[in-house]
Every structure is written in C-alpha cells, then in structure tokens.
Structure 1
Amino acid sequence: MEYDSQSPKFALRVDSDHKSTQFRIFSIDKPHMRAFHLAWFSYFSCFLTTFAAAPLLPIIRDNLNLTTTDIGKAGIASVSGAVFARIAMGTLSDLFGPRLASASLLLLTAPAVFLFSMASSPFSFLFLRFCVANGFAGGWGNFGGGATQLIMPLVFGFIQHNVGAAKFTAWRIAFQIPAVFQMLSAIAILLFGQDMPDGNIHRLEKSGDKPKDKFSNVFWHGVKNYRGWILALTYGYCFGVELTVDNIIAEYFYDRFNLKLHTAGMIAATFGLANIVSRPTGGVLSDLMARRFGMRGRLWTLWVVQTLGGVFCVILGRVGSLKASIGVMILFSLCCQSACGLTFGVVPFVSRRSLGVISGMIGGRGGSRIEPLNGLGFLKQKKKHLEMQ
C-alpha cells in the first residue's frame, strides 16, 4: 500500500510500512534521507581508513622493509578480519539496531588507525591491517576506496613538502587524517542516526511496537538459509575482487609503468571512484529488470554483468601498454562494481527476519560490508516480489 500524500510524520512519501517511496538526494530530512547520507558517509570514512595504506605502499614497504609476501598477507588480513566481524555485526544490527552497532565498531577500531602510524615491523603492519575497519554501509561509500588513492598521496605530499617532514615520517602523520574522519562519522551516527523510520529499536521494543527476538533465533535463521550462502559466494567474486584490486592497483601501476607515486594514485583512483556511478547503476538496473522479468531479471542481469567483469579482469592482466591498461581497468571497474549493486538488489528478498545476518554473511565474503539501509527497510521494495524464505 502506498499513500497518495505525504504522511504528516515524515517529509517524504511513505508506504504502509513507513518505507520511503521517494528519493531526494539533496535532502537531509529525518529519518529516511538522513539515514542514507549517514550511511554513505560512514562507509566513505571506513574505506578511507581501510585503503589509506594502499597508495602509500611504495613508501611504507621501504620504511618497514616489507616483502611482496608481507604485503600480500597484510592485504589478506585486512579482508579476513572482516569476514567474521560482518556476520557478528549483521546480527548485532538486527538485535540492537545499526546506529549503536555501527558507531561502536567505528569507535572501537579507530585506535588501530591512530596506531597504524607507529608500525615498525612487518608483523605490526599485518596486525594493524587486520584490525582496521573496512566499512559497513552501502552505495556511494565505496567510492571512498578510489578517493583514498587521491587523498593520501596529496596529504603525504603536503606534509613532506610544506611541513618539511621526512618521507618515512610524513606517511605516519598522514594516517591521522583518516583516523579523525572515522571518529567524526561515529559521532555523527550517534547524534543524528536512527535505527528505523519510527524510532530506535530499544524504544520501539520497550513500547511494544517491535517484538524482541533472541540472538540464537535471529542468527541461526540467517545462517541456515542456503540462498544467503550462494549470494555470499557471488559477492566474494565481485566486491572481494574489488577490494583486492583497491589494495594493489596503485602499486601495480607504480612498478609496472615506472610512474610517480601521485600519478599512479590518480590512475588507481579512477577504479574506486567509478563506484559513485557504477554501484548505484547496478541497483537501478536490478530494479528495472525486476519490473519486467521479476526476480529472474535481477538474477540473470547479475550473472551477465559479473561474467563481463571477470572477462575484463583477465584482459587487464594481459595488456602491456599504459593506455590500454587504464581503459580496460575502467571497463572492469564498471562491471565489477555494478555486479556489487546487483547483488544487493537481491539481498533484501532473502530473509526479512534475519536480513542483518544475511547482509553480514554476504558482505563478509566480499570483505566487509553491512547494508543498514536495506536492513532497516528505509527504501521501498516492490510488493510483487515474494520474500525468498
């Protein structure tokens, strides 16, 4: 059911479940659009901290005497730590609300970001990469992975040339910037965030408007859903690949084509920055195909786009010229990231009861990603789709 006029309680049009049926991108009206902007900003800050090391790896590896094996292990650690955290965070979001869950995660991992500048050995570098938060919202926040490739070399250059710090000191000082961003996003969530359109979960449970569920019931209901595991594998081969490329793409161009650090960062940035267009495009495409072909349209489109992403990934590893590599990388990024959006076009229909757990399972296989907007039901889903229970 959709109302013909605005609800006096909300600034946007809503349906009978108080899900928004409008999307005003320049609005910060509470709760729907404010939740959207807090979600992508917090995700952006997490991507900034997660990939802050990537564009500075040529400097960090010389300072800490890192081998190729050390760098590879650190990249794995930065992803593997989130695999388990995501499932836990999805469950916590279902039980306590994403506002407290997400802000707590940011605040708990912020010290690791500050301490990253004190890394003095390959082991400490690997351990802190494991501890740094990887991000937990959807949509535009992913372009933070690309913005980081631009921001960190610029911050490093400013500190080195304008402040006069040595290069091995400059990269350590530069890490304080993403740490501050992460702290600010956590505070913003606590001050301005809201769990659901009608209020925070604790108040709704206390008033009886929302039934309180048990941890074990929510967790096992999600974990036993085989559709969630299929999508987890799928997401691992789009967002997981994206995270891997974000970690090494600047170093790849720096070493293979003998580019300057800043130039390699600018080229690498196009991969992540494409998210501002490609990932939302995947979500929109999923909705458009669903209107005509239903759930099959969502699934087949996901398969086609993800397959194309795999093809371009293989081609990227085989081309030898700089221009060709950049062109193929852009095509690869568009398909890979659109597949991420297409995956989460399916996620809300897997399980209503354990949507946070399902999101955590799927996001954990990709690296680290929780979708609070989907979990809260802030955005309207088409009624003709049946929940895949």
Structure 2
Amino acid sequence: MEVQTMESQPLKFALPVDSEHKATEFRLFSMAAPHMRSFHLSWISFFCCFVSTFAAPPLLPIIRDNLNLTATDIGNAGIASVTGAVFARIAMGTACDLFGPRMASASLILLTAPAVYLTSIASSPVSFLLVRFFTGFSLATFVPTQFWMSSMFSAPVIGTAYGVAGGWGNLGDCATQLIMPLVFATICYMGAVKFTAWRISFFIPALLQTLSGFAILIFGQDLPDGYFSGLQKSGNKQKDKFSKVFYNGIKNYKGWILALTYGYCFGVELTIDNIIAEYFYDRFNLKLNTAGMIAASFGLANVISRPVGGIVSDLISKRFGMRGRLWALWVVQTLGGVFCVILGQVGSLTVSIVVMFVFSVFVQTACGLTFGVVPFVSRRSLGVVSGMTGGGGNVGAVLTQLIFFKGTKYTKERGITLMGLMIICCSLPIMFIYFPQWRGMFCGPSEMVATEEDYYLSEWNSDGKEKGLHQASLKFADNSRSERGITKLNSATNAT
C-alpha cells in the first residue's frame, strides 16, 4: 500500500501528495506551487478584504463628527457592513463548486473594491451606510479561501490549513485598527484637516484590495492539476449541475448546525470588531490611538488562536477521530462564552484588556475548530456547506448587533454580557452532529455501521455515478479514513 502511494505521487509537486494530489504536509514558510502558493494568495487577499471592511471603525470618532452620525446610524452601518456577506458567502460557495475558487475570489474582490474608494466621498449617514454595506460583500472571500485549502490539502492537515489561512486573513481586523489611525495621523501631519484626512485614508485599503485581486488572477490555480475551466474542457473534471449541488448542500442538517455555531464565534468576532474601539474610547475616556491599539489586540490573537484551532482539530483527530474534533469545538466555544460574560462585568481598564484578550483566544480558536469539521460534511457540495457556515457567521453578527448594540436599549457592557450567554446557548447543538461512519460526541465508532464510501457516495444518484461524477468522492472517502481515530483505524487495518 505504501509503495503504491509513493508511485502515484507525480514528480511535479514539491510537497508529498495523496491520490487526489492534495498535499499531505503543510509547510508554512514555503512558496511551492501550487499548494503553498495558493495558501499565501488566499490568506493575503482575505486579509486585504478584512482591512477594507473594518477600515471605518477605528476612525468612527472622527467620521461621526464629520457626518453627524447618531448612535443608531453607527449601529446600522456596522450591521450593514456584515449583512451583504450573508448571501454573498452562500453564493460564493456555489460559485466555488461550479467555477473554482480562483475566479470566485478574484471577481468578488475586484467588484467590491470601488465601494472602498467611494467611502472617501461619503457625505451623509445614508451614503456612509451604503459604502459599508457594499464593502462588506468582500468578506465573502472567506469562502473561496477555505474552499481553496480543501482543494490543495489532504484530510490529516486540512484543519491546520483552514486555521492558518482563516486566522492570518482575520488579522486584517487587527491591522486596520493600527493602520487607519496611523495613516490618518500621517496625512494630518502632512497638512490636511482631519475631515479631509480620514477620506484620503481609505485609498490605502482600497489599493491593497485591488492589488490582491489581480494577484489571484495572475498567480492563482484552482486545483493541484490546473484550472477548473481547463480541466473541465479536457474531461479530467466533470461539470456538476448548479441545482443539484445547491440542493445537496442545503439539505444537510450538519451544515446548518455549523452555521449556527459559527455565528457565535466568528459572528461575535465581527461584532467586537465594530464596537470595541468605540467601547474603550467612550467608557474609559482614552485617546483614539490608544483605543485603537487595545482593539487591535483582540484581532492580534488571530496570529496564533485560529491556526491553533485548526492544528488542535487535526491533532485530536489523530487519536479520537471526528468525535475529538466535535468535543474540542464545543468545549472551546463554551469557554469563549464564559469569558465574554466576564468581559461585560468587569469595570477596570487593565482587567478588561486581559479578559478581552483571553476571550479573543477562545472565540477565534473555536473558528479554527469549526472549519476542522466543515470539510467532512459533504464532498459534492463542499462550497455550499462552507458558504452556509461562513454566512452563518455574518448572520450571527447581524442579529447580535441588532439585538444588543443598536441604539441605546442596552449599554455596551450589558450587551457584551448577553452576547456571552448567547455563545454558550448556541454551542449546544454541536452535540447533535452525527456522522454514520464516525458517530458523534457521545458515541464513538465502536462498531462501524457505515463506511466512508457509503456516506459520500450517498450524495450521488445512479445517473451521476454512470457519468463518473462520483470518482472524486471515492478518493476523498479513502483519504478521510483517519477520522475514525487511531484505535478504530488500527483495528480496521489489522482486520484487513
């Protein structure tokens, strides 16, 4: 078996690969094409979109004075910034399944970049809301980012690839808290008045986003073996039907549960990005730069926390399989909710900063752990399930901001406490996720009642199988046997 695997590995790949030509190793500091090059293109482009989407919050104390924004206006704009991506993420998932992550990502990035440029001419609460709404669509690049990782990396390292790509991309919310006040201060130092300086500042994130879109078009590659379009024309990849891909994805209840739980890890992260700088600025009477630096520390945790979530998911899976991935996700996300509750209760600046940082580590680690599970929900409709889960993050952000942070119904500290309770409650449905071939949280794979092939081939009818559309699912089923856990995997190996 080992000899056959080695002989099937093409010499053109710098990394060892499996039968689908997906890399079985993750070498962070490599630029090897196509696997690691795709990784770096994906996280950098997502990073730039994050910077664009959250470029406004660090400058809100200046923008609100210039545009006469009320607390309700600011709340509505924050909600608008994450609303558009709800549906865009689902659309991006389907686009990835049908056209590939390269075209899906580059198209969205370049289509939303003009909205970032147009922020510089916003002149009223309505126009400010609109530019934030359309800029927020770019957050849907998260879906091509994650889909790209599943196209390039094998099951044993997929959680790591997901976690690092998503985590480093999410660093954009940290970077923008530092970049925008610095750019603003520099422009003011050069002689511009503050109401002009904040407008000029938006050309920086707009330019970064535009360049990242062209970089994907020029240097990106959909799959280890080439581009979606080229492989489909040559017959090496069959083209699936939109309706069947979409229906197969949305009917899978596990995707909906992951969308809910992601709504209260990533959705909470988006909410904090919109409120935290203003929260510290107003509650503790801090300077704008100081509040921005504190807010940046929340996103800074993404350097390690979300990647650690993916790495932990992979490591625990080697011993306990899918059951371990699910338990780790539930425990970490619940602890994130506990620390969120504590953050809303403390009144000391120092303690608030410490608790906020610990809270950020848990909630971002939960994001990485979530996408340690996502790739295994569906092979045929991976993009749709990824889009549903990613969209759930935005839905969670919208609902949380509408309920707790819009207007003056709750103080921000009260809203943060209630948000923590929501995190704890919305983590409970993880217990209902069940894979027939691997079981769930409370029942490990003692006796196999189904195989990986049974599960993934059930997504195809006889017509699809006759056309050979199921071949990729067969390969994925074989490469995902590690999700049984080491004990069951060893017993299955000994039996054969």
TM-score by length of 1: 0.94
Q: Which residue of 2 aligns with 1:154?
A: 182
Q: Which residue of 2 aligns with 1:290?
A: 317
Q: How far off is 1:204 after superposition?
A: 0.6
Q: How far off is 1:4 after superposition?
A: 4.3
Q: Which residue of 1 aligns with 2:172?
A: 144
- Distance in 1 (CA, whole Å) between partners of 2:483 and 2:242 is 28
- State the AA in 1 paired with 2:483: H
Q: Which residue of 2 aligns with 1:118?
A: 121
- Distance in 1 (CA, whole Å) between partners of 2:16 and 2:321 is 24
Q: Which of 197, 214, 220 is matched with 1:187 structurally?
A: 214
Q: Which residue of 2 aligns with 1:338?
A: 365
Would you say the 8 A contact 2:249–2:378 is kept in 1? Answer: yes
Cα deviation per residue 1:347-371 (whole Å; 9 max; x = unaligned)?
0000001101110010011129xxx
Q: Which residue of 1 aligns with 2:341?
A: 314
Task: After TM superposition, list the pairs within 5 Å mapping 1:51-66 onto structure 2.
Answer: 51-66=54-69
Larger helix share, 1 or 2? 2
Q: Which residue of 2 aligns with 1:101?
A: 104
- State the AA in 2 paired with 1:383: R
Q: Which residue of 2 aligns with 1:72?
A: 75
Q: Secondary structure at the match of 1:186?
A: helix
Cα deviation per residue 1:319-365 (whole Å; 9 max; x = unaligned)?
11110000000000000000000000000000001101110010011
Q: Which residue of 2 aligns with 1:372?
A: none
Q: Which of 181, 206, 226 is matched with 1:199 structurally?
A: 226
Would you say the 8 A contact 2:96–2:104 is kept in 1? Answer: yes
Q: Secondary structure at the match of 1:317?
A: helix
Q: Secondary structure at the match of 1:80?
A: helix
Q: Which residue of 1 aligns with 2:24?
A: 21
Q: Which residue of 2 aligns with 1:41?
A: 44
Q: How far off is 1:318 after superposition?
A: 1.0
- Distance in 2 (CA, whole Å) between partners of 1:248 and 1:219 is 35
- Distance in 2 (CA, whole Å) between partners of 1:354 and 1:272 is 31
Q: Which residue of 2 aligns with 1:385?
A: 483
Q: Which residue of 2 aligns with 1:371?
A: none
Cα deviation per residue 1:121-162 (whole Å; 9 max; x = unaligned)?
11111111110022423331011111110111000000011x
Task: After TM superposition, list the pairs within 5 Å mapping 1:199-238 onto structure 2.
Answer: 199-238=226-265
Cα deviation per residue 1:25-75 (whole Å; 9 max; x = unaligned)?
121111000000001100100000010001111111111111111111111
Q: Which residue of 1 aligns with 2:289?
A: 262
- State the AA in 2 paired with 1:238: C
- Distance in 1 (CA, whole Å) between partners of 2:216 and 2:49 is 13
Q: How far off is 1:383 after superposition?
A: 2.9
- Distance in 2 (CA, whole Å) between partners of 1:383 and 1:67 is 55
- Distance in 1 (CA, whole Å) between partners of 2:246 and 2:259 is 16
- Distance in 1 (CA, whole Å) between partners of 2:200 and 2:268 is 30
- State the AA in 2 paired with 1:300: W
- State the AA in 2 paired with 1:72: G
Cα deviation per residue 1:105-133 (whole Å; 9 max; x = unaligned)?
01100000000111111111111111002
- State the AA in 1 paired with 2:177: Q
Q: How far off is 1:179 after superposition?
A: 0.2
Q: Secondary structure at the match of 2:304?
A: helix
Q: Which residue of 1 aligns with 2:462?
A: none
- Distance in 1 (CA, whole Å) between partners of 2:37 and 2:481 is 24
How many residue pairs were aligned? 376
Q: Which of 168, 178, 203 is matched with 1:176 structurally?
A: 203
Q: How far off is 1:381 after superposition?
A: 6.5
TM-score by length of 2: 0.74
Would you say the 8 A contact 2:18–2:479 is kept in 1? Answer: no
Q: Which residue of 2 aligns with 1:357?
A: 384
**Structure 1 residues 381 and 281, CA gap change in structure 2 (3 angstroms):** farther
- State the AA in 2 paired with 1:232: A
Q: Which of 51, 67, 85 is matched with 2:88 structurally?
A: 85
- Distance in 2 (CA, whole Å) between partners of 1:90 and 1:173 is 34
**Structure 1 residues 343 and 239, CA gap change in structure 2 (3 angstroms):** same
> Which is worse superposed, 131-140 or 287-296?
131-140
> Which is worse superposed, 133-142 or 207-216?
133-142
Q: How far off is 1:382 after superposition?
A: 4.5
Cα deviation per residue 1:83-115 (whole Å; 9 max; x = unaligned)?
000000110011001101100001100000000
- State the AA in 1 paired with 2:481: K
Structure 1's unaligned 5+ residue stretches are: 369-376
- Distance in 2 (CA, whole Å) between partners of 1:338 and 1:85 is 24
- Distance in 1 (CA, whole Å) between partners of 2:371 and 2:49 is 19
- Distance in 1 (CA, whole Å) between partners of 2:57 and 2:211 is 22
Q: Secondary structure at the match of 2:238?
A: coil
Q: Which residue of 1 aligns with 2:445?
A: none
**Structure 1 residues 212 and 223, CA gap change in structure 2 (3 angstroms):** same
- Distance in 2 (CA, whole Å) between partners of 1:263 and 1:362 is 34
- Distance in 2 (CA, whole Å) between partners of 1:247 and 1:83 is 16
- Distance in 2 (CA, whole Å) between partners of 1:339 and 1:49 is 24
